[in-house]
Chain A
């Protein structure tokens, strides 16, 4: 082990400990910091979806816009299975719950995995026909599927299972901030493992040039399907986490705008960078709250600034995004990942540059 490696390992452990410590501190003072906690939880959940989307878009070159639909599947499975049995009559107060479902109850973790599996099965079925399509067509077809899933979940025919228009509530919350953070971290870690495996290299080959990849003996369909199914699995889990986070869901949550928000996280973080997606998720979720002051009337020196009123925040937000897309296309991380070497390299080079300037 070289000196550098030891240094990096130590730094990583320190960072993890610091993050754990910070979360622990927030948890210990949870009543005063519930706002920060909820933002962190939401960012962690969105990070999973963003990384899953990045795995498709950035690493395999498949532009899918079906995230909201798969999240909805995961969320509904998790929601239905974790609502306490004694609360169910209350939740399904108008239509009643299907008898076969009435006493089926699972703890959160198995329910999340089952939610992911349902999303994955749907993805596998959908993938067979639509993964033959390319770029824009794939995007619009997956977008369409997400809408179909949403319409299906809200339809009166599903009343006794999904509670139709009324949505689900009384979903038990996370017991503490560590649960969503650890589940998210594990999900992202598993996806990173996949991306760095031989499968991941095959994905990248398909992204660069699918014809060349195929001639190198990569089975295009099998790999695309694999990427799509696994990405959907984790998207489903994230959907389940979102349901637990929100504690009440309905199909309106899972509209196209949700997918767009995830897309913006991926774009901002850098298409093809896992750490970028994670940073992007925290930035967008945090920034959205941080920019709240734009919505409040502001007066400087007694003069009311007329621009500041409700809705201005979202305008600023979308303008910022256009700027990123137009002038800073690589996003924060481009396709590179965060490593300690890069970080130190950054400082060193800066130092050198400064020294050179002075001389």
Chain B
């Protein structure tokens, strides 16, 4: 009896303490590499070494003064933007087809669209590199081109957009779509004027997802880019293999800042959208 009472009293307290300790551990775990990188990017020395004795913005200046690094950043942003557009458009159209139209072999097609998402980047990159390595269109080799990397990244981004948008479309009140047909708008018009605006939050989130995936990816890009089209993560990976300097920390910070800037933009848009609807 007393044994049971003691256990019942003891267990919750112990679990609470354990829970708090775990919380500290997990937050520390997640924040360590972030904070280390952030701190290191302001280091004045040219070696990665703790403690840091002098602070400066030297490596930021160095990053922006180097055409190799700024070109890589530019290339990354171009490829990520292309991937976002390509995968958002194709993913949304496919999701709409799945949600509203009769499709033969639906399960097979679903699996086919989702499958690349589960494939390792090294396999996707290798396959495309082997298959399209020697292919030329109008005398221009498509291997090494940014377009090929966009498509490769879309193999991951498009299924994600597709999945997200399928779930989003399922929340749409279909009577509203019928009301639009009923008032004389054809399917295309209805899709553009009614459906897409109604799921705009889903569209924007999917596009952001696609952008982030492409911006951060470097295994496929490693196989598919050449010196001129190299993305920032690829350049970082190659420099890490030779020697790590605080310049890499700066590159990490800038890569993350690009992501967070997009996130902030979308947050602003989202808040404005909310205001618009709940005004007054």
Q: Do A and B bind each other?
A: no
A residues neighboring B (CB under 8 Å): none
B residues neighboring A (CB under 8 Å): none
